[in-house]
Amino acid sequence: MNFKLTIQYDGTRYDGWQRQGNTDNTLQGRLEGVLSRMVGKPVEIQGAGRTDAGVHARGQVASVHLPEGYTPQEVQNYLNRYLPEDVAVVEVVEVGERFHARLSATGKEYRYHIRMGSVPNVFARKYQYRVEEPLDLAAMERAAGYLTGKHDFRSFCGNRRFKKSTVREVFHIGVEVCGSDLTLVYQGDGFLYNMVRILTGTLLEVGLGQRTPESMVDILEARERTAAGKTAPAQGLVLQEVYYP
C-alpha cells in the first residue's frame, strides 16, 4: 500500500528534512522511526523537498509504502501519537503504487516571512527575519519581474558542485505586505539548494538600495554564486505547498 502524507513542522530544532549519517535529528529520520515501530520493520519515506536545517513546512509531502492492512486514519493517528509536538501529519491518503512525493510533483510554493521596522513580533520571532531598515518594495517587485520565468539559476544555487541542470521555471514571485509583515511568495516547478533563501537575500539587497532591479539580468547571466546576494536566514522560510497533477 502506498500512502501520501501531508506534514507540517517547526524546523527550528531539526537538522533539516533529509536523513543523515551523522545525526538522528532530522524530520525524515523521526518519521521513519515512528513508522518502523508501527510495522515492525525498517521503513523508508520519500519527501517532496529537502528543507534545510531550521526551515519550516506547512505542506511538506511524503510518500511511503507500508504492508497491507493499515488504513490512512490508523497511520495518521499513530504518527501524531508518537511524533514530537513540533511535527504533525495533517492528512494521510492512499494513492496509486506509482505515486512518488518528489518525482510526481509538478511544482512547489515557498514563503519567506520578514518583519519590517523596529518593533518585533514576539510571538512570530522564530518564523520571521527582522529587517529594521526601510525597504523599497517597488524596487523589489521590479527585480522579482526579472527573476520570473525560465532561467538558468546557477547564480542562486548554494551547491557550487551541482552537476545537473540548474534551469528552473519560476511561475511567480509575490511581494505581499500586511502592516509590518512582508511575505515573499515563490512558486515554481522546482528550486535548487538554498535557491529561495538566496533569491530572498538578493531581493532584500535591492530593497535596501544595494543593488538595482536591472542587475538581476547580469546576475542570471553570470551563472556564478558570488554574483548574487547573501543567503537569507533559515527561520523565515516555509515550504507552503507541493503541487501535483
Q: Which cell numbers in the block locate residue 225?
A: 554564486
**Catalytic choice (10, 24, 52, 86):** 52
Nearest 5°: the CA angle 240, 207, 242 is: 10
In 3D space, the residue among 195, 202, 197 whose CA is nearest the CA of residue 217 turns out to be 202
Is 52 annotated as catalytic? yes
Local structure of 83: helix, strand or coil: coil
Provide the β-strand partners of residue 114.
129, 182
CB of 29 closer than 8 Å to CB of 18: no
In angstroms and rounded to an integer, the radius of gyration of the C-alpha atoms of the chain is 19
Nearest 5°: the CA angle 46, 150, 195 is: 50
Task: Report the distance separating Cα 235 and Cα 128, nearest Å.
Answer: 6
Task: Report the distance separating Cα 231 and Cα 17, nearest Å.
Answer: 19
Task: Report the distance separating Cα 83 and Cα 56, nearest Å.
Answer: 16
Q: Is the dihedral of CA 172, 178, 179, 182 positive or negative?
A: negative
Tell me which residues are annotated as active site. 52
